[in-house]
Amino acid sequence: MTQSKNDSKTSSKLDQSSDIHFISSEQRLKHQQWLMEVTQLPTAAGKETRVINWIDQWLNQRSYLSKHKDQHGNFEIRIKDAPISDHPIYFTAHLDHPAFVIEEVDTETELIMSFRGGVMGDYFPNAKVKIHNSNDSYVMGTIHEELKTTNNEGVEESIKPFKRYRCSLDSSAEVSKGTIATWDLPDARIENDEFGGIIHTNACDDLAAVAAALSAIDELALLRQSTQESAKSIGDIRVLFTRAEEVGFIGAIGASRDGFMPKGARIIALENSRAFTDSPIHGGPIVRVGDRISIFSPELTGAVAKVAERIAGGPAAPTASQKMSDMPKWKWQRKLMAGGACEASVYCAYGYCSTCVCLPLGNYHNMAKLAEAQAGTHEKDFGGPPRVGCEYVGLDDYAGMIDLLIGCGIDLPSSPGFVERIEKLWDSTRFVLE
């Protein structure tokens, strides 16, 4: 959120009068650096090791945080000196992104790879990929035809559970089964604009949320250690990182089935969702009320929205009696994201109180010019087949997500307070009925 020039070089602090957390420009740059680093790491469903190793190195520098794993490789991060509660607040994000995994090595230059995630088939033919070796080097390859199977009726079908593709390497190399391959994308970059910039990078979904969750819990843990009396109210805040979301929320299902999170937990799932005209990049973090599967827990959605209103000083969109010029500078959005699904629906299905906050995302799942590809006009409009590109999010939206999570960690209402609001309205205005 906006801070004064005099505060630009000071450490993060809590405004005693408003419980609004101000983050120094130095800390903002650190959060941005973590975003840049983690979103470039190769990862795939079930193959999240590089991201986990990065987080472990990050945790090694923070003795005030602890890590706890479940049997599926999901893990949570806690603030060590915070009291353990039956009703913790969770920020959750998944560690994977759509990518290839080598299933067979036919020759030194021919591979069979499965694709773990959801990407339109038009983007695969002749696409260039990077096969990542364990020593962080890579070899280039080209995707060829999809391999299919024949069903009992003699009809060709995609191989399940993951589609498989033949890939030829540009040069002979020693690669192993289980190795990750990703699209051939340029290095991450920040493109400055009037709203503070956009990051173009390999995998915002969901690694930008991973970086935001780490930034938020780091700020909350440091605030809790401070001498500010109001900061001591920061309680049992945890971050949960899950695996294999891109192939059906598998990590989140495992954690929910096993009761890894206490049943009284309030879970805020973090996502990156395809931006649309009514949910644009630079419009602020989005409080999601639901997805194409379910409507999330109304009381928690309302509570998160109330925190957003507290930070912004106003609603997500102008009411009928407001002008656009009346709207606060700190932006946020409240939307139903009808096109996709997220882990919040899984948590709700298992009886948890859950909602979602997401970043509006460009080039969803690396599918550049997706609208034209879906419409079948890409060849006509751009003179060739669809091609992948870097995902991108607004740096102001990313900072806003961190602000919102910190606000929830400081004071997340136990209920939206709507009953109290309408009772107050009744007491002040019921005279019109007399």
**CB within 8 A of 126, min separation 6: which ones?**
142, 143, 144, 385
Q: Name which of 67-71, 221-225, 226-230 the model is least confident about.
A: 226-230
Q: How confident is the model at residue 307 (pLDDT cuts 50, 70, 90)?
A: very high
Cα separations (Å) of 428 from 321, 432, 434? 20, 10, 13
- DSSP β-bridge partners for residue 241: 75, 93
Domains of the chain, CATH where assigned: 5-97+188-419 (3.40.630.10), 100-183 (2.40.30)
pLDDT (mean) for 356-379: 95
- pLDDT exceeds cutoff 90 at 17: no
Of the candidates 240, 163, 171, 208, which has an alpha carbon nearest to the alpha carbon of residue 37?
A: 208
Q: Give per-residue pLDDT as tens, 178-188.
A: 999 999 999 99
Q: How confident is the model at residue 5 (pLDDT cuts 50, 70, 90)?
A: very low
Give the number of other CB atoms < 10 A from CB of residue 317.
Answer: 14
Q: What is the pTM of this model?
A: 0.90
Q: Name which of 48-52, 162-166, 322-326 the model is least confident about.
A: 322-326
Q: What pLDDT shows up at residue 247?
A: 97
Q: What pLDDT shows up at residue 16?
A: 37
Name the token pair of 123: 């983007």
**CB within 8 A of 423, min separation 6: which ones?**
none
Q: Give per-residue pLDDT as tens, 159-207.
A: 999 999 999 999 888 889 999 999 999 999 999 998 889 999 999 999 9
Q: What pLDDT shows up at residue 324?
A: 64
Give the number of other CB atoms < 10 A from CB of residue 94.
Answer: 31
Q: What pLDDT shows up at residue 261?
A: 98
Q: How confident is the model at residue 92 (pLDDT cuts 50, 70, 90)?
A: very high
- DSSP β-bridge partners for residue 358: 271, 286
- Alpha carbon of residue 268 to chain centroid: 11
Q: What pLDDT shows up at residue 360?
A: 97
pLDDT (mean) for 380-390: 93
Q: What pLDDT shows up at residue 18?
A: 42
Average pLDDT, the chain: 90
- pLDDT exceeds cutoff 60 at 10: no
Amino acid identity, residue 177? K
Q: What pLDDT shows up at residue 232?
A: 67
Eight-state DSSP code of residue 295: B
- pLDDT exceeds cutoff 60 at 237: yes
Rg (CA), the chain: 23
The crossing angle, in degrees rounded to 10, of helices 298-312 and 395-410 is: 110
Q: Name which of 14-28, 151-165, 329-343 the model is least confident about.
A: 14-28
Q: How confident is the model at residue 337 (pLDDT cuts 50, 70, 90)?
A: confident
